[in-house]
Structure 1
């Protein structure tokens, strides 16, 4: 099992600022995600080493790299439950469309 890292306060503040910026610039995120829950999720994923470069500590990632990683995590989180909102008829049409590829 991998060692769990600890995300420091300054790193949490950096993540929070980036989540805030991404949410302000993307209406989809605003409608799909809760800011506090998203920050907690991203921090916990870094702590469990499920995000980021395993060879580079969080404090060694530049802003562009970290923003890309957080943006990816937010996109996955925002789209993860989309199919749950479909009616059975919509789900059937979706399945048919996917099978037809």
Structure 2
């Protein structure tokens, strides 16, 4: 149990500063995402890797992956917020009409 806890602490220590910086630099994340919720999700997601696999990921690569995940999370609910008229415009644009 101690090993799992310390592995989680290591993940938090790796992920937290990256998420803090990305949130600081991106208004979309600030508006659409709950930072603590995202940190928890990322820790759980990256917790599926072994400690060795995590060590093999460079900070630059980890930042890139986290940025992509946060962007996907931020825009995934955007279509749900559109009015029926906006959805019709979106659908027409996607279909090339």
Q: Name the TM tier (shorter chain).
A: 0.7 to 0.9
Q: Which runs of 4+ in 1 moved over 6 A?
A: none
TM-score (norm 1): 0.80
Q: Distance in 2 between matches of 1:61 and 1:38?
A: 19
Q: How many residues align?
A: 91
Greater Rg by CA: 2
> Larger helix proportion, structure 1 or 2?
2
RMSD (Å) for aligned C-alpha atoms: 1.9
What are structure 1's unaligned runs of at least 5 residues?
1-5
Deviation, 1:16, is 1.0
- Check if 1:88 corresponds to 2:84: yes
SS of aligned partner of 1:17? helix
> Are the aligned partners of 2:11 and 2:47 in contact in 1 as well (CA < 8 Å)?
no
Unaligned runs of 5+ in 2: none
